[in-house]
């Protein structure tokens, strides 16, 4: 099962971090959020990744080159120039890093990946959100629905805590629940190859153009996820995820160390 990661956007709402690097390279703990997303997929044995690059894509290429070549302990034979990696466990990932243009929209980026996806069912998500969604169950749900596409529907965390009212008095406060005002697009899609019939060119927007048409055609299933989900659109959300990770509260960490 191939996994597409959209990692080419400008990340303008997180400009404090993205002036110097692409948003998927912004770190949670000491690892880019893109790494966290890939660890979620790899936990379910989905480890063939196709990363759609755009803005500052060279930073993502550099990261994975260094992750593969510089991780762990090395033995260097100066006479021969040979470099040997000592026996250590590394990620069993195949990572395809594909330039999809600076100004290409989300649907256009997917369209450019068509030659790499082998006319088979594939998964896709954004490079800026984490969740503890059960990806194996998501795939089973998708296959049972018989649709071209399935989106993971989530209820985002409320931004503010709530007041508990009794008559005219405030009786207490509630924590910020994972309710929001309704279901939203949480990423973590599954697509059939027929999705490419809906992609017209680089200007195609996956959300405004493609998902809307799929829904109108009855071809967009919605997998309702009531567990943890959090995007990283703003500096506040980045700090929230970073705080959770550093405090040891890691609800999206489904993998074992």
- Range(s) of the domain holding residue 192: 2-246
Query: Is 253 contained in some domain?
Result: no
The per-residue pLDDT string of the chain (257 residues; one tens digit each, 9 = 90 and over) reads 999 999 999 888 888 888 889 999 999 999 999 999 999 999 999 999 999 999 999 999 999 999 888 888 889 999 998 988 876 678 889 999 999 999 999 999 999 999 999 999 999 999 999 999 999 999 999 999 999 999 999 988 766 566 667 776 666 666 555 554 588 999 999 999 999 999 999 999 999 999 999 999 999 999 999 999 999 999 999 999 999 999 999 999 999 98
DSSP 131-159: E---HHHHHHHHHHHT-SEEEEEE-PPPS
Q: What is the CATH number of the domain that holds 182?
A: 3.90.550.10
Query: Is 175 contained in some domain?
Result: yes
What local confidence, expressed as pLDDT, does residue 164 receive? Answer: 66
Query: Is 94 contained in some domain?
Result: yes
**Among candidate residues 86, 58, 61, 81, the one with its CA nearest the CA of residue 71:** 86
Whole-number Å distance between alpha carbons of 91 and 67: 9
Query: Is 92 contained in some domain?
Result: yes
Query: Is 235 contained in some domain?
Result: yes
The contacts of residue 35 (CB under 8 Å, 6+ apart) are none
What local confidence, expressed as pLDDT, does residue 173 receive? Answer: 64
Query: Is 254 contained in some domain?
Result: no
What local confidence, expressed as pLDDT, does residue 162 receive? Answer: 63
What is the count of structural domains for the chain? 1
pTM of the entire predicted model: 0.89
What local confidence, expressed as pLDDT, does residue 178 receive? Answer: 53
Tokens of 119: 């006319």
What local confidence, expressed as pLDDT, does residue 182 receive? Answer: 81
Query: Is 256 contained in some domain?
Result: no
Query: Is 160 contained in some domain?
Result: yes
DSSP-H helix ranges across the chain: 15-18, 33-43, 57-70, 106-112, 135-145, 212-216, 235-246
The H or E element spanning position 84 is: strand 83-85
């Amino acid at each position: 099962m191939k996994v597409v990661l959209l990692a080419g956007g400008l990340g303008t709402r997180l400009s404090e971090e993205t002036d110097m690097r692409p948003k998927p390279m912004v770190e949670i703990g000491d690892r880019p959020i893109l790494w966290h997303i890939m660890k979620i997929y790899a936990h379910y044995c989905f480890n063939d990744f196709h990363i759609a690059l755009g803005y500052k894509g060279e930073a993502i290429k550099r990261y994975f080159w260094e992750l593969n070549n510089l991780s762990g302990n090395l033995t260097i034979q100066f006479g021969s120039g040979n470099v040997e990696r000592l026996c250590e466990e590394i990620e069993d990932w195949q990572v395809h890093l594909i330039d999809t243009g600076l100004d290409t929209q989300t649907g256009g980026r997917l369209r450019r990946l068509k030659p790499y996806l082998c006319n088979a069912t594939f998964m896709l998500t954004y490079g800026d959100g984490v969740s503890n969604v059960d990806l194996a169950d998501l795939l089973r749900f998708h296959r049972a629905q018989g649709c071209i596409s399935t989106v993971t529907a989530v209820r985002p965390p409320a931004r503010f805590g709530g007041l508990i009212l009794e008559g005219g008095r405030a009786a207490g406060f509630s924590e910020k629940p994972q309710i929001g005002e309704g279901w939203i697009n949480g990423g973590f899609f599954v697509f059939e190859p027929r999705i490419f019939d809906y992609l017209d060119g680089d200007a195609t927007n996956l959300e405004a153009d493609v998902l809307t048409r799929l829904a109108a055609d009855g071809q967009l299933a919605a997998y309702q996820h009531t567990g943890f989900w959090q995007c990283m659109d703003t500096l506040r959300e980045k700090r929230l995820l970073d705080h959770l990770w550093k405090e040891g509260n890691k609800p999206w960490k489904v993998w074992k160390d």
